[in-house]
Amino acid sequence: MELTRENIIEVLQSVYDPEIPVNIWDLGLIYDIAINESDVIITMTFTSPTCPMMEDLLQQVHDTVAAISGGRDVRVDLVWDPPWDLSRMSDAARLELDLTEQGW
């Protein structure tokens, strides 16, 4: 199977922050996915730098992508700029969390 951005997004949609019933893709925590012949680089953030599950979620992202990477090295880069905000969430995530435009 050829590794594609869509394959990676699909597996990232299986990773959930245990405190929020929405996957990390729909939360807008993934900023970039770069794929080349030898590497996969995931650039992501968190809603807060004090997230107690940060290390666990970073490891889950790494392991989930590594499982389909076809032997490529997987690197997860954590960034804080630009900062995460509610506008990064998908419409489905906003609906799931009952966040309307008036509420944010």
Q: How confident is the model at residue 1 (pLDDT cuts 50, 70, 90)?
A: low
Handedness of CA 86, 34, 5, 22 (dihedral sign): negative
Annotated domain spans of the chain: 5-90
* d(C-alpha 91, C-alpha 99), whole Å: 9
Under CATH, what is the fold of the domain 5-90?
GMP Synthetase; Chain A, domain 3 (3.30.300)
Summarised one tens digit per residue, pLDDT across range 57-96 is: 999 999 999 999 999 999 999 999 999 998 899 988 888 8
| CA-to-CA separations, 62 to 5, 12, 18, 22, 47, in angstroms, rounded | 15, 10, 17, 18, 18
Q: Which amino acid is at 73?
A: D
Greatest distance between any 2 Cα atoms in the chain: 46
Instruction: Kindly state the helix (H) or strand (E) to which residue 77 belongs, with its residue range.
Output: strand 73-78
- Is the pLDDT higher at 9 or at 99? 9
Average pLDDT over residues 45-57: 93
